[in-house]
A and B are shown apart, each in its own frame.
Chain A
Amino acid sequence: MQSVILNALARLFFVAMLIFSVFILLRGHDSPGGGFIGGLAAAAAYTVITLAFGAAKAERWLILHPVVLMGVGLFCAILSGLPPLIGDFGGFLYHLWWEGQIGFLQLKLGTTLLFDLGVYFVVVGGVLSILFRMYETGAEEAN
């Protein structure tokens, strides 16, 4: 099932959707968005590649194996909860914030971002591990 239009636009869609997903992830704390939705959007971006060029290519572009990505996500989420324990600021997952300015960039960073990144990775890895499996298996059985 090759579609010229899809193949031509897939890379463009992929880049746009991936950037958009990161945007959603980052803005999540103050406006609609966050790790879960961002992760779904990123998974959708890879889905476009899978539909256009097949699972093997999408898997290459993901760099990490999707199952590994889930592990990385869980690791990030757990890691984000540790800093308060070290400094004795509060319990596990009590999020800390840092506000400041780098050059002209006004920044507000919290450990929540790492947590949300963890959610993002778990969602991307989860959706894609199943999607890739389906397409691999499908390709095999169709032959």
Chain B
Amino acid sequence: MSPVWFVIIAGVSALIAAPVTRAAGRFAGPLLALVPAFLFVSLLMQLPDLPVGTAILQSIEWVPAYGVSLGFRLDGFSLLFSLLITGIGTLVVIYAGSYFSDDAKDRGRFLGFILLFMTAMLGTVLADDLIMLFIFWEMTSLVSFFLIGFKHEDAKARKAALQSLVVTAGGGLALLGGIIILGLTAGTFSLTEITAQAPQIATSPAFPAIIVLVLIGCFTKSAQFPFHFWLPNAMAAPTPASAYLHSATMVKLGVYLLARFDTGFGEYLIFYAPLMIFGGITMLISAYAVMRSTGFKAVLAWSTVCSLATLVLLVGVPGEAGVKAMIGFLVAHALYKAALFFAAGQVIHSTHQYELARLGGLRFKLPITAIASLLAAISMAGVPFFLGYKAKDLFLTAAFDGGSWGMWLTVVALASSAVMTAVAGLAALKPFFLKPPYGEVKLYHNEYYGMALPPLALGLLGLAIGVMPAPAWNSVLIPAMSALYGSTIALEVHAAPSLGLKFLITLALLASGAALVWFWNRLYRDPDNVKANVVFADLGYGAVMGWLDRAGQVTARLLQMLSLRTYIAVTLGVSTLALLLALTGFSADMISAAAAEPVRPYMAVVLVLTLIGAAVAAFARSVLISILGVGIVGYTMAVVFLLNGAPDVAFTQFTVETLSIVILLAVLLRLSLKPAPQQSLLKRPLALAVSAGFGIAVGLGVLAMSVLPFDRRLSDFFGEASYLEAQGHNVVNVILVDFRALDTLGEIAVVAFATLCVWALLRRRVKKEG
């Protein structure tokens, strides 16, 4: 199966998710999970076709004029990511089917979004063309917005959704800038070719700009300092979405793209130094924030920020050791963190209790979840015979081999590892195995199998890969490392731990983690430090948004005078001046040309009517009569069009005139606006001057137009081509629907959206009580 089909199948499943859910009822989760499961198996079947160091490339022409194509690339690294996306996606769909078991409507909506998100993720990691990658990248941000704001009646969820969109889509814009500069510098948008040309690109003066913009894009997406705040807030999303988007997959896209760039640009200081510095800072901040958090999901979210930072840092570590550790940690984290989120969702769903401090003693009430959680936590803590152990081992190797960065790497590695061990203990042990501090936790419902089996599967997988490492490492992980590193990586993985310094450190970390859990109650009671919120919370974000609001208010106060008359006077005055300026060279010709035109008597009659209408509009005392006067002018203009051979325009003018009068009258009659009695135009000298001036200028303009030689090229072309190429005799219509159909489409879209806005603004005001 070629790569494009993975995206197409996923996309179709997203479209049919809602109706299928309605039809399938409570079996919707397992039924829809067949799609990602099928994709997962198909991806596994690609393995034999992808020996280490090869890639399947596919390119479909899209916008050849700009060198943009639907370019796909399936290599070891994108295969690994796709397996994670579809594998965890399968479990998430099953899980969500149970999670939303009380509300069929929510379930369909949610599953549709999850599958749409899966489509976008697959598109991003399978993309070779950077423009295509960007489009899918932004699509993940959009779907994430809808999922965080899924409980849209909740103001907090809406705020978090908006925040994540502003941060990630804003960073996406920076990424787009970087991609475009990169594409212009390299002459191609293909990631494969760009990687091959990396040394030339690095000498270009645009190189620093490219790197900075790409880094901003990746840092926002993967929640790195100073953009780390959005991810913990994103926990407002339903737990299955948190597990999938905000832990296992989407937030790793930043890491994904950084790793892709690392293949070509990894040796340049300007690229890898920010990764190590910002990654390290984020690790320390989030490690501390974990210890201050009290919410079950908040603890997991901050630990996810810490893990993402670890990955960013490891991408930055030059050489083989960094790549090995990054891939190992990526997979281990995806497995155990998704499982822990799943378990947290089960606990919160059945106890309605969000605070970690109040949870405890659930091991007999939620037995499967407790086992799954325990398995995941052991892997997270890095206990031997679990996948997480090997990941931690590779991480420590990379940190010790860090060369001149060794000290920094070792410090952040040890600090964050200790905290991660503690989190593992907190999330897995406390709710299930420790005594509940405030009495028995009330259970609203028993364990749902649909929510208990997915984390168990992930936990067991972590154990299986730990005990029997060869198949997974040799066929998936090591090819992924090789694809990133650019040449074959040799790595022997054994189940049993090798004794030595690193083993001792691992034991020490376990002990320190245990100590942190033991003292956790005392640590988190540390009074809320407001100053710390500058770093941990979104105060900076709030300040920036506040400035934006204030800047908007200032400009609005300067430009919006809230007087329609002033607006019209300014618009017409400026137009008059511009017209007169353009007409300076015409005067003599115009008068003679106008005199040479024979007067047609029937036209004169029509124009006299026009004048009467205009006079009524100008001098009437009542707005209603004025509107009717304007209407007369409009109708007579339509007659003028008709008499001059433009029936289409005349027709349109008639209908538009009728409808606008009806609508205007409706406003006046029904809205009871009580318009102030209008003064005659003669008593308002400024208004008189503006309108008379505008009328004269337009009149002169029309005269000038009639003496200019008429360029017939376009009319001739359309006249001839209309029937031959577009099968229509009515040239106006043919231009609208065929030659310029894209413009028309744009216009009706604008009309529709503008109308939608007006329609929304005109909605009935909600009557206030009392």
Using CB atoms and an 8 Å cutoff, list the residues of chain A in contact with chain B. Answer: 1, 24, 28-37, 40-41, 43-44, 47, 51, 67, 70-71, 73-74, 77-78, 81, 92-93, 95, 97, 108, 110, 112, 115-116, 118-119, 122-123, 125-127, 129-131, 133-142
Contact = CB atoms under 8 A, between A and B. Distances in A.
A121 to B, nearest CB: 9
Given A130-B759, A134-B762, A139 B670 contact: yes
B35 interface: no
A123 B744 CA distance: 12
Given A126-B755, A134-B667, A29 B762 contact: no
B652 A35 contact: no
For chain B, which range describes its interface: under 10, 10 to 19, 20 to 34, or 35 or more residues? 35 or more
B666 A138 contact: yes
A37 B738 contact: no
B741 A32 contact: no
Nearest to A121: B748
A36 to B, nearest CB: 7
B608 interface: no
Interface string B740-767: 0110110011011001101100111000
Contacts of A136: 764
Given A28-B733, A34-B648, A112-B737, A44 B752 contact: no
Contact of A28 (B727, B730, B749, B762): B730
Contacts of A110: 727
Contacts of B737: 28-29, 34-35, 95, 112, 115-116, 119
Interface stretch (B373-381, B493-501, B521-529, B655-663): B655-663
A71 B751 CA distance: 11
A40 B730 CA distance: 18
Contacts of B762: 130, 133-134, 137
Which one of B670, B671, B756 has the greatest number of beta carbons of chain A within 10 Å?
B670
A81 B764 contact: no
29 contacts: A24-B651, A29-B727, A29-B730, A29-B733, A29-B734, A30-B730, A34-B732, A34-B736, A36-B736, A40-B652, A40-B659, A47-B658, A51-B662, A67-B759, A73-B752, A93-B738, A95-B726, A110-B727, A112-B738, A123-B748, A123-B751, A126-B752, A127-B659, A129-B755, A130-B663, A133-B759, A137-B764, A139-B670, A142-B672
Contacts of B738: 93, 95, 112
A93 B741 CA distance: 7
B208 interface: no
A74 B734 CA distance: 19
Contacts of B736: 34-36, 119
Residue with the greatest number of chain A CB neighbours at <10 A, chosen from B727, B729, B756: B727
A73 to B, nearest CB: 7
A37 B648 contact: yes
A142 B663 CA distance: 17
B41 interface: no
A52 to B, nearest CB: 12
Contacts of B756: 67, 70, 129
Contact of A78 (B670, B671, B745): B745
A8 to B, nearest CB: 19
Nearest to A32: B647
B507 interface: no
B718 to A, nearest CB: 14
Nearest to A110: B727
B669 interface: yes
A73 B753 CA distance: 12
B8 to A, nearest CB: 14
A1 B669 CA distance: 10
Interface in B659-685: 659, 662-663, 666-667, 669-672
B728 interface: yes
Contact of A31 (B666, B729, B755): B729
A33 B741 contact: no
Nearest to B648: A32
A112 B728 CA distance: 10
B748 A141 contact: no
A81 B745 contact: yes
Contact of A71 (B648, B666, B734, B752): B752
Given A51-B662, A140-B764, A44 B748 contact: no
B647 to A, nearest CB: 4
Q: Which of B667, B755, B762, B763 gathers most chain A CB within 10 Å?
A: B755
A24 B647 CA distance: 12
Given A134-B666, A138-B672, 10 more contacts: A29-B728, A40-B659, A73-B748, A77-B744, A119-B744, A125-B755, A133-B763, A135-B666, A135-B670, A136-B764
Contacts of B728: 29-30, 112
Contacts of A51: 662
Given A129-B755, A134-B663, A138-B666, A93 B742 contact: yes
Contacts of A140: 764
A64 to B, nearest CB: 14
B742 A37 contact: no
A100 to B, nearest CB: 14
A33 B650 CA distance: 11
A122 B752 contact: yes
A28 B736 CA distance: 11
A77 B763 contact: no
A127 B671 CA distance: 18
B726 to A, nearest CB: 7
Which of B666, B667, B669, B736 is the most central at the interface, judged by chain A CB atoms within 10 Å of its CB?
Answer: B666
B767 to A, nearest CB: 9
B667 to A, nearest CB: 6
A51 B669 CA distance: 12
Contact of B752 (A74, A95, A141): A74
A109 to B, nearest CB: 10
Contact of B749 (A40, A74, A116, A127): A74
B751 A138 contact: no
A70 B755 contact: yes
Contacts of A130: 663, 755, 758-759, 762
Nearest to B752: A70
A132 to B, nearest CB: 9
B286 to A, nearest CB: 43
B658 A44 contact: yes
Given A37-B652, A138-B671, A126 B751 contact: yes
A40 B733 contact: no
B584 to A, nearest CB: 37
B740 to A, nearest CB: 9
Nearest to B759: A129
A48 to B, nearest CB: 9
Given A40-B652, A70-B756, A133-B762, A34 B748 contact: no
Interface string B34-72: 000000000000000000000000000000000000000
A140 B765 CA distance: 10
Contact of B729 (A29, A40, A119, A129): A29
Contacts of B732: 32, 34
A48 B651 CA distance: 18
Nearest to A48: B662
A81 B738 CA distance: 10
A20 to B, nearest CB: 11
B115 to A, nearest CB: 22
Contact of A81 (B666, B730, B741, B763): B741
Contacts of A36: 652, 736
B749 to A, nearest CB: 6
A125 B752 contact: yes
A135 B495 CA distance: 76
B748 A77 contact: yes
